[in-house]
Amino acid sequence: MYTETQIVERPAVIDPFEGDGENLVINIGPQHPATHGVLHLVVTLNGETIKKVEPHLGYIHRSIEKMCESLSYRQFIYVTSRMDYLSAHINNHACAMTVEKGMQIEVPARAQYIRVIMDELTRIASHELWWGAMAMDLGAFTPFFYAFRERETINDIMEQTCGARLTMNYMVPGGVMADLHPTFQQKVKDFITLFKSNIDEYDELVTGNIIFQSRTKGVGYLSKEDAISYGCTGPVGRGSGVSCDIRKIYPYEVYNQVQFDEMLETGGDSFSRYQVRVKELRESIKIIEQLIDNVPAGDYLAKTKAVLKLPKGEFYTRVETARGELGVYIVSEGGTTPYRIKFRSPGFSNLSALDHMVRGSKIGDLMATMGTLDLVIPDIDR
């Protein structure tokens, strides 16, 4: 039976203290300068103090996992560039690796080197954008432009090699889509020189600033135990002292042949997470420096069948994106398309800790904490 729906009229004058008369409920987002996308936070406040934060997701849900079920094993990789758009290469990398694992494709050494260099360049670009946006969340505009100065160089390199600046599709099952551009190595070396001379400015402008330190130290505390139980990975987990760098624990491609350190901080606050990321910038440069001159000659793409078919079974791969652990889980029925696919995205788990981290702090702390979580909303919603 059809029942008449009752139309509830919205009162013209908002009562700011609706509910129990003490709490002020404000909606931060889905359009808000600090959420960097369409994240919707329902924040319950008492004065300036946060009592509860409730993230509402789904504003940019495009059912990427469902779409992947109707796309072939070559096609579905392209969709994943749109998940975490700041680490498109690394997403593609994870998917390509899952397919390679299922079909037991041997990736040529040249392709492995190229993949790792591209991953690290992507990580630098992503951390650059985070660094600028983080400072902007705290009210400083200028760092954003300094970060983009270097990021622009990386984007140019990417454009030259892959044809795209943001949503790159370069890694395919069996290797990479095209060989490196002839000037790639020289450009990367130029970038390294430029970056090394500029990265100290970052510390001068932001890290050493007394206002910045007082805004981030002791803010958004996440203990090691909580980080583990919330499943926080990447710089968020490492900022709380959890050793969770997939590149170290389960090395893939040539990560076991390069020298680099896993950055660990034990503070658990926003400043620790900040420092992990800034140190990772230097660490990524170190990895690229070791690889860029030693890219072996040979094929960049393994010979594969025209139509890829994964054998019946379940396949799981994980990689370290700029934001943490990305897991790709494919269930195959032996056909040309995945039967089921699931992405374990780092942003989703990291966001789940937000409420725990900011309860009892001020609105300004919410922004500082969200900034260091480095949320990319399409990664959370998919």
Partner 1 sequence: MKAPTPEGGIMEEMKERIIEYKISPFRGWRNWDMFSLKGITNWIQGWLSANFSSAWVLFFESVIVILLATTLFALLGLVLVWMERKVAAHMQIRLGPNRVGPMGIFQTSADTLKLILKEGLTPDGADKFLFNLAPFVVMIVAMLLLAPIAFAKGFQVWDLNIGVLYVSAVSSLSVIGILMAGWASNNKYSLLGAMRSGAQIVSYELSAGLSILTIVVLTGSLQIGDIISSQQNGWWLFKGHIPVIIAFVIFIIAATAETNRAPFDLAEAESELTAGFHTEYSGMKFALFFLAEYINIFIVCAIGATLFLGGWMPLHIGNWEGFNHIMDYIPSSIWFFAKTFFMIFLIMWFRWTFPRLRVDQLLNLEWKYLLPISLFNLLLVTVIAILGWHF
Q: Which of 382, 360, 380 is nearest to 43 (CA)?
A: 360
d(Cα 29, Cα 2) in Å, to the nearest integer? 35
Residue with Cβ nearer partner 1 (34 or 375): 34
Binding mask 315-354 for partner 1 (x = CB under 8 A): ----------------------------------------
Among 146, 170, 195, 343, binds partner 1 (CB under 8 A): 146
Tally of CB atoms within 10 A around 245: 25
Among 63, 183, 214, 229, binds partner 1 (CB under 8 A): 214
Planar angle of CA 47, 49, 52, nearest 5 degrees: 115
Instruction: Give least dist CB 198 to partner 1, A.
Output: 11
Dihedral sign for Cα 306, 382, 112, 254, please: negative
Residue with Cβ nearer partner 1 (11 or 298): 11
Instruction: Give least dist CB 18 to partner 1, A.
Output: 10
Q: What DSSP line would sit under 104-121, residue for residue?
A: TPPPPHHHHHHHHHHHHH
Straight-line distance from the first to the last Cα atom of the chain, in angstroms, rounded to the nearest whole number: 37
d(Cα 246, Cα 47) in Å, to the nearest integer? 42
Planar angle of CA 102, 103, 109, nearest 5 degrees: 105
Classify 341 as helix, strand or coil. strand
Q: Environment class of residue 331 by beta-carbon count within 10 Å: exposed (0-12), middle (13-18) or buried (19+)?
A: middle
- 114-143: contacts with partner 1 (CB under 8 A): 135-142
Q: How far is CA 295 from the centre of its chain?
A: 26
Decide: is 51 part of the binding site for partner 1 (CB under 8 A): no
Instruction: Give least dist CB 236 to partner 1, A.
Output: 20
Instruction: Give least dist CB 41 to partner 1, A.
Output: 12
- 178-207: contacts with partner 1 (CB under 8 A): 205-206
Instruction: Give least dist CB 47 to partner 1, A.
Output: 8
Instruction: Give least dist CB 8 to partner 1, A.
Output: 16
Among 1, 7, 8, 13, binds partner 1 (CB under 8 A): 13
Decide: is 375 part of the binding site for partner 1 (CB under 8 A): no
Max CA distance (Å), the chain: 74
d(Cα 220, Cα 366) in Å, to the nearest integer? 8
Among 61, 66, 208, 211, binds partner 1 (CB under 8 A): 211
Decide: is 30 part of the binding site for partner 1 (CB under 8 A): no
Decide: is 48 part of the binding site for partner 1 (CB under 8 A): yes
Residue with Cβ nearer partner 1 (198 or 266): 198
**Contacting positions for partner 1 (CB under 8 A):** 11-14, 16, 24, 26, 32-34, 48, 135-142, 144-146, 149, 205-206, 209, 211-212, 214-215, 362-367
